[in-house]
């Protein structure tokens, strides 16, 4: 049985949809580690108090999803270099009475694409749509994976500018205006980290001139939330189209390793979730 001090959780708002408890339960069973992992709803204005209460009750670590990743960053005493670059935290570790933050989103995305799918990201010209917590998490990892250039576009251009400035690679990372997408040429990698498809929002729209014969289209979301972008990508003739389920499982494995010192085998967990695809209804 799990001990009272081995408590973990995922925090978000809303959170009832989360697959993280199922994923971490599978990892725990696979590795023989006793684990109490819950989903905790945390409205942004109450997140700090909820996290403090969780720690007081023996919480040892947690995952953070929408819309709390940037708020989690502000609540950490220490953060990893990749979290600092992102300005966002998706993994919390309790050490010496303080929260330490990391961001495993980018590592999860790259591992899914290059490991599970055998794709080579090197030399690709990449377009990142969005500049919120999810985009900030994956941008540094894409640069580390060897992409040639990263163009960041957001409907609020100031956020795209801030993300590019934080990356600190002016020769490889650039921000552009959303209404100027048709003038940006084509890309071998397009990553959607926008809110298109969430909360019943209308479909995704962008010029098909962004696509070429090699384009890999990736949505960091999964399930119904990813449908608008993936439909656009298929209609535009993208060579490969990928949703965010694999990224979700891989980033969870990175978190699990931070907490327990062992990285689980993600293959069986991913396949089990994919087989239950009718239950994949939203994003994290």
The reply to whether 133 sits in an annotated binding site is yes
The reply to whether 197 sits in an annotated binding site is no
The reply to whether 134 sits in an annotated binding site is yes
Contact 140, 167 (CB under 8 A): yes
DSSP helix/strand/coil, 126: strand
Tell the burial category of 268 from Cβ atoms under 10 Å away from its Cβ (0-12, 13-18, 19+).
Answer: exposed
The reply to whether 158 sits in an annotated binding site is yes
Of 7, 24, 60, 69, catalytic? 69
The reply to whether 157 sits in an annotated binding site is yes
Maximum distance among all Cα pairs of the chain, rounded to whole angstroms: 59
The reply to whether 16 sits in an annotated binding site is no
The reply to whether 146 sits in an annotated binding site is no
The reply to whether 140 sits in an annotated binding site is no
The reply to whether 81 sits in an annotated binding site is yes
The reply to whether 3 sits in an annotated binding site is no
Contact 142, 106 (CB under 8 A): yes
Annotated catalytic residue 69: yes
Phi, psi torsion values for 87, nearest 5 degrees: 65, 25
Phi, psi torsion values for 99, nearest 5 degrees: -90, 130
Which residue pairs, CB below 8 angstroms and at least 24 apart, start in 271-280? 272/26, 273/19, 273/22, 273/23, 273/245, 273/249, 274/245, 277/223, 280/19, 280/222, 280/223, 280/224, 280/245
Contact 77, 101 (CB under 8 A): no
The reply to whether 236 sits in an annotated binding site is no
Known binding-site positions: 18-20, 65, 81, 90, 105, 130-134, 154-159, 220, 222, 244, 251
Q: What residues are labeled active site?
A: 69
Tell me the binding residues for shikimate.
18-20, 65, 90, 105, 222, 251
Binding site listing for NADP(+): 81, 130-134, 154-159, 220, 244
């Amino acid at each position: 049985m799990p001990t009272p001090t081995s408590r973990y959780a995922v925090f978000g708002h809303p959170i009832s949809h989360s697959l993280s408890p199922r994923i971490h339960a599978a990892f725990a069973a696979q590795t023989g580690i006793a684990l109490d992992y819950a989903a905790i709803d945390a409205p942004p204005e109450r997140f700090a108090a909820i996290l403090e209460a969780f720690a007081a009750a023996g919480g040892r670590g947690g995952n953070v999803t929408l819309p709390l990743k940037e708020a989690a960053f502000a609540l950490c005493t220490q953060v990893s270099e990749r979290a600092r670059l992102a300005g966002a935290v998706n993994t919390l570790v309790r050490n010496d009475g303080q929260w330490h933050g990391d961001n495993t989103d980018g590592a999860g995305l790259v591992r899914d694409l290059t490991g599970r799918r055998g794709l080579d990201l090197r030399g690709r010209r990449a377009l990142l749509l969005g500049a919120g917590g999810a985009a900030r998490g994956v941008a540094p990892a894409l640069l580390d994976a060897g992409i040639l250039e990263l163009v960041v576009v957001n409907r609020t251009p100031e956020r795209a500018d801030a993300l590019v400035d934080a990356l600190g690679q002016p020769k490889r990372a650039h921000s552009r205006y959303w209404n100027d997408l048709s003038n940006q040429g084509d890309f071998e990698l397009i990553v959607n980290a926008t809110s298109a498809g969430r909360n019943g929002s209308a479909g995704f729209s962008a010029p098909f001139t962004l696509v070429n014969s090699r384009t890999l289209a990736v949505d960091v979301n999964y399930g119904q939330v990813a449908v608008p972008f993936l439909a656009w990508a298929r209609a535009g003739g993208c060579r490969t189209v990928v949703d965010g389920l694999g990224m979700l499982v891989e980033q969870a494995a990175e978190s699990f390793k931070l907490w327990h010192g062992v990285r689980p085998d993600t293959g069986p967990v991913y396949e089990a979730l994919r087989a239950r695809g009718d239950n994949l209804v939203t994003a994290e």
